[in-house]
Structure 1
């Protein structure tokens, strides 16, 4: 989708407000002002925002496997944990990902009990990442029925809150695919609601109406929470430019305001924020971006530094993200200061729920 750039003045104002709200300091070296006091007063609202986060399965010893230790600090004790438990196969069937063979973060009775001990809500995720896989599932009445039964049965038997549906590659869907997708969501919502369970649906970041996806139409299928994945803006970089940040403040505002215009009830809207990094050629080649780099890997990148002066010099004014180049490659990651600042942007817009992609690999978290 087309994304509109804000003026330099608008971006600067947004950046200053966000940094004030999270650090108590403006983007310049001027002393604290009345504006900084006002920003700090808004911090409790951001802290009170319900927090959710995703985690996903991986092999024993992989960095994703630290997720369990990370949420053990009760960072989402009053929020939600969302582990990926199911994947959509190429034939449209759904597989349950279990801990057999040493897979971490997957389904087991013990892992479910641990989720419940450290969160108020649990939404296991069903993941389908290609149009072909999504089409195979949603276009078949039999496959939809089987999936609904399979998902609902496990949610009920395990006593978790509901299901998080993450079916993607939206931009390549046909009109028929979107129609079948809505049918699937409606059927799943009905089955879950009949058992007192809830449905979350992950949606693409948008700033204007598009033919491939419609927030209001999806929400109308009985979706309890629509989760807008407000990240990966770098993939929309214009040819020849330096790759854009993952989530610029101005773009985050646009995405959120558009979502609020389609889903005005704040209790039914969740905004997704990033906690990861990427690398890419400089100038940008969107086909060559390496995304979703965890912090444990990012810190091994050429030129990585924790020196405060270096970090300050590398902090991007439009996003708060840490960006530098080395050997013709751009590196970008979200640290805690940037994550806090993005949360402050959402707090000012009246957002009440936020979800972070993702736990694992020591990815940064909010500072409070």
Structure 2
């Protein structure tokens, strides 16, 4: 979700302590030989795909409500396998969050449908399928650029139209509520943030009047900042604030190897900061990554390819399912699988890495965890 549209566009075309910990972590070349500082155990190909079972992970997962996002794709795209993945009832007691709406450049809300040839989007059949495999359904409204967000929230007419459209839709289709994913936060003006909060307040009031709920996706933060305020957003009637705790690679220092997607120490910082602003665990969701990235080594932030699904990651140069190679490549600071081939870094989150991240969250008392995203055989928690 975080920086998602830019990441997807790139994929389709194909603090210092954390950096030190990452550099000391496991790293291999094409030959599969280990670097220094490796930790963790190897996994089989079945473990990488989420098939392996571990009692500890099963205990941790049972302690939280699990949620996950789905995003649209054209027929044949790897994301279109998402329904076959949630069909195993992995979130039967949790939430499914499909992207049903996008914000246009004119600030209008467009419904994305299966009739337009897109998977994971709205149709009566899709709604029925979601309900059959989850306890809660929060279709997402997505605005990925400052210009689009500004066009929506700065206009009282556009805000009112969007609130009416979204509320009417979830009531008619008997869905739990709405998930608001508006990003590019760092480029928002103070007025944009104020208007965004106004929109959220209006939407929350409208949804609550109909017995529906509002979920809002928020950037990962470790301290107060000018561009976003968890407490101020939550105070607008937000039922769940969903912190997207991934894509730390975009904070890599110039000339360094890209940071992991979600370092464990950073995840703990993000979570503790969020809890200091949203102390009620029922209103706080921490989101974890299930995808891969590639990037030049040293890191070039303008050339990071993100949101690589596992079905595509398997075709990356140097990819291996050999347990000893996986063990050698497992990064101590994140649990992720990382290696360098042909001057490019590859990094993906497998089930073991997801379990490690979940263990951090449960140790901190987190009770709701979301995953970006389903589709393409992306790993899931074991158990």
TM-score, scaled to structure 2: 0.87
2:129 counterpart residue number: 114
Kept in 2, the 8 Å contact 1:58–1:64? The answer is yes
Runs of 4 or more above 6 Å deviation? 39-42
1:337 matched to 2:352? The reply is: yes
In 2, distance between residues paired with 1:27 and 1:222? Answer: 43
Alignment root-mean-square deviation, CA: 2.0
Residue 228 of structure 1: aligned partner: 243
Matched, 1:303 2:314: no
CA distance in 1, matches of 2:20, 2:252: 17
Taking CA–CA contacts closer than 8 Å with sequence separation of 6 or more, which of the two structures ends up with the larger relative contact order? 2
Which position in structure 2 is the counterpart of 1:274?
289
Matched, 1:246 2:261: yes
Alignment of 1:282-301 (within 5 A): 282-301=297-316
For the Cα contact (< 8 Å) 2:39–2:331, is it kept in 1?
A: no
Once residues 61 and 290 of structure 2 are traced to their aligned partners in structure 1, the CA distance between those partners, rounded to angstroms, is 17
Q: Matched residues in 1 for 2:19 and 2:148: separation?
A: 40
For 1:112 and 1:46, locate their aligned partners in 2 and report how far apart those are by CA, in whole Å.
Answer: 26
Superposed CA deviations along residues 340-365 of structure 1, whole A, max 9, x for unmatched, are 11000000000000000000000000
Contact 1:43–1:344 (Cα < 8 Å) also in 2: no
Residue 371 of structure 2 is aligned to residue 356 of structure 1: yes
Shift of 1:99: 0.6
Give the conservation status (yes or no) of the 8 Å contact 1:5–1:251.
no
Distance 1:81 1:335 in 2: 21
Report how many aligned residue pairs link the two structures.
344
Aligned partner of 1:16 in structure 2 is none
Aligned counterparts of 1:48 and 1:237: Cα–Cα separation in 2:
33
Residue 197 of structure 1: how far off its partner (Å) = 0.1
In structure 1, distance between residues paired with 2:337 and 2:291: 11
Counterpart for residue 200 of structure 2: 185
Which residue of structure 1 lines up, in the alignment, with residue 209 of structure 2?
194
Aligned mate of 1:139, from 129, 151, 154:
154
* Inter-partner Cα distance in structure 1 for 2:242 and 2:324: 36
Q: 1:70 aligns with which of 82, 85, 96?
A: 85
Change (3 A) 1:122 1:303: same
For 1:76-225, list aligned pairs within 5 A. 76-225=91-240
TM-score, normalized by length of structure 1?
0.90
What does residue range 28-43 of structure 1 map to in structure 2 within 5 Å? Answer: none
Task: Please give the alpha-carbon distance, in whole angstroms, between the structure 1 residues aligned to 2:180 and 2:285.
Answer: 13
